[in-house]
Structure 1
Amino acid sequence: MLSMIPGEETEYLSYDTPCRSDEDSDIDPEWFTSEFLNDVKCSGIPNHRIILKVGVPIMLMRNLDQASGLCNGTRLMVTDLTPYIIVATALSGLKSGKPVYIPRMSLTPSDTGLPFKFQRRQFPITVCFAMTINKSQGQSLSHVGLYLPRPVFTHGQLYVAVSRVKSRKGLKIFIVDDKGVVSNSTRNVVYEEVFQNI
């Protein structure tokens, strides 16, 4: 997708360092070379290597300014790339159309599955040509393409997905059934127990 957008690519690399471990830890911090830490990919933190162009859609991975609506999940469009700041415009919300200046931040993954802690200094963004249904909640979009390789699995999730779009003309749905055949129907998950106490 990135290659289809005209313009020069800019590469941003993170600076990764191991965090001091507890005194009783059996893990030697010298094991964690910068190359090893650069290869670690965790939920909630950006990758070591981010490649961007002007015009690329991105999504914030951290809250920058909640009062202005610059929160985790906010979608923006890159307008300028400098070595220390990424300039973008918000695609929706209070800051829609206004410039947003994104600095590098030091981020520590909250993934408890890692037997060590490390810190990554990188821009808190990810390229966002697509997003999950949960991340799209609360957004109003002019065009939505919904890809369902399997039925939605949570109460109300299909409603959230199709209600993001402003008009019916802007909605396209691609559904694949259990056998991998293109279909024109899917299952809507509704838990009737939710409505019993209303």
Structure 2
Amino acid sequence: MLLRNVDKSKGLCNGTRLIVERLADNNIEARIITGHCFGQLTYIPRMIVEPTDKNIAIKFRRRQFPDNVCFAMTINKSQGQSLSNVGLYIRKPVFTHGQHYVAVSRVTSKKGLKVLILDEDGNVSHTTRNVVYKEVLQSIK
């Protein structure tokens, strides 16, 4: 999964999923498996990365690939994607408002959805709570 925008016109955006075809010293040959460029072969170069944290006294740069091996993703990272299979793992029986909808609505069919919810003791549960923070709703007119 790409972790930054590389080239939007070629479908290489933050969150794009790819299958690595070949690794080289300075680039990755990969096939795009999401978005409007699905199936296209692309090359991802090493990029210069500089920390943006102002508290770091020493300025340094490094070259690295803008990707990460991905076996799972957060609910936020999955927004806007359509997936044939979704496994939803809920460690605590609480969702903030809207997360449940985003997570469940990513899957294209009911058959492709698996949900595991654990209670506070780590036991399998069949329910969860959708929490709405009243402070957020008070500011809506």
| SS of corresponding position for 2:117 | strand
Unpaired segments of 5 or more residues in structure 1? 1-58
The correspondence for 2:99, drawn from 157, 166, 169, is 157
Q: Cα RMSD (Å) of the superposition?
A: 2.0
**Contact 2:93/2:127 (8 A) holds in 1:** no
The residue correspondences of 1:124-163 to structure 2 (distance < 5 A) are 124-163=66-105
Bigger drift between 120-129 and 74-83 goes to: 74-83
CA distance in 1: counterparts of 2:54 and 2:97, whole angstroms: 28
- What does residue 70 of structure 1 align with? 12
CA distance in 1: counterparts of 2:96 and 2:55, whole angstroms: 25
- What does residue 117 of structure 1 align with? 59
- What does residue 2 of structure 2 align with? 60
Q: Which protein has the larger Cα radius of gyration, Structure 1 or Structure 2? A: 1
CA distance in 2: counterparts of 1:71 and 1:86, whole angstroms: 15
User: How many residues of Structure 1 are paired with residues of Structure 2 in the alignment?
Assistant: 139
The correspondence for 2:113, drawn from 142, 149, 171, is 171
Unpaired segments of 5 or more residues in structure 2? none
- What does residue 105 of structure 1 align with? 47
Bigger drift between 179-188 and 105-114 goes to: 105-114
Same amino acid, percent of matched pairs: 60
* Structure 1 residues 82-139: Cα deviation after superposition (integer angstroms, max 9, x where no partner): 2222111111101111111100110112234534332120111110111111111111
Bigger drift between 137-146 and 182-191 goes to: 182-191
The correspondence for 2:26, drawn from 58, 81, 84, is 84
Q: How does the TM-score come out when normalised to structure 1?
A: 0.64
Change (3 A) 1:77 1:195: farther
CA distance in 2: counterparts of 1:145 and 1:72, whole angstroms: 21
Runs (4+) of structure 1 exceeding 6 A deviation are none
| SS of corresponding position for 1:110 | coil
